[in-house]
Amino acid sequence: MSEARYITAKLTARERVAYDARIIGVLSRSEFKLKYADSALGYLWSVAKPMALFSVLYVVFGRFFGLGAGNTHYPIYLLIGIILWTFFVDASSMTLMSLVSRGSLLRKLMFPRLLIPLSVTLTAAITLAVNMIPLVILIAWNRLVPEVKWVLLVPLFLELFIFTFGVSVILATLFVRFRDVGQLWELTTQLLFYASPIIIPVGFLPPWSQPIMFLNPFVQIMQDMRAVLIPNQVVITAADRLTNVGGRLLPIGIAFTTLLVGLYLFKRQSPWFAERV
């Protein structure tokens, strides 16, 4: 028995949780610091990139194409979508390569392999928290008063993390064996960005496509957050378009199923990670 395995075997359940939490903390902090190491702007890139994308899309689609007509809070509507999408793409893309890039760590140390994708997803969650600052400023600029229903943002963020982590674990597991997954996922995210109602309000889409759109948990979460934060605006949600199949319960179920599938695949393949990376 290796020294690391011997040490962890002697830990109680509570000590083991604390031990794993320390590993997650170390990996997450180091990942976040390395992400912006040796860059002039450093952590400001966390805010600069989504804000630059927001500025361009708002001018093109909000002004030139008039998608914001009749929606006084279209900037908030758009920024919510961009911030959530940035988190989803960053988390899934970084986690996808996390096991392969840490091959030496997998071969030398004994610890739960799931901590690697979890720590990377948490790193993206830190970036998400930083990206929320411009949204808070925009909300304050529009003088939106906090309401009791804003507490619903907590379970929505939790659902977003669960779904994103599930997708990320599936991608990371597949990438260990099939490196083409990286190229495929990059193409998929580009297509999904324009296929999802991030820029274009759901009401602008063909009626037949709207229920299909809400089968994606990300769309359900994004629209529910918009409905919570934007007052006096009719924001179409999954409850409006999936009334015959459980409303928002269906995409929520898909989100949790995605996580369970990811954990199952990861558990099945993890014994061979060290030799395949």
Residue type, 24: I
pTM of structure: 0.88
The pLDDT-based confidence of 1 (bands split at 50, 70, 90) is: very low
Count how many domains the chain has: 1
- Helix-strand-coil split of the chain, %, nearest 5: 75, 0, 25
The CA R_g of the chain, rounded to the nearest whole Å, is: 20
pLDDT band per the 50, 70, 90 thresholds, residue 134: very high
Q: Which of 29-43, 210-224, 263-277 has the lowest mean pLDDT?
A: 29-43
Tell me the C-alpha distance between 129 and 144, whole Å.
Answer: 20
pLDDT average, residue stretch 225-243 = 89
Mean pLDDT of the chain, nearest integer: 86
Residue 5 has pLDDT above 90, yes or no: no
- pLDDT (0 to 100) of residue 139: 93
Match 């229903």 to its residue by tokens.
149
Which tens digit of pLDDT belongs to each residue from 75-118? Answer: 999 999 999 999 999 999 999 998 888 777 777 767 788 988 99
Boundaries of domain holding 72: 3-276
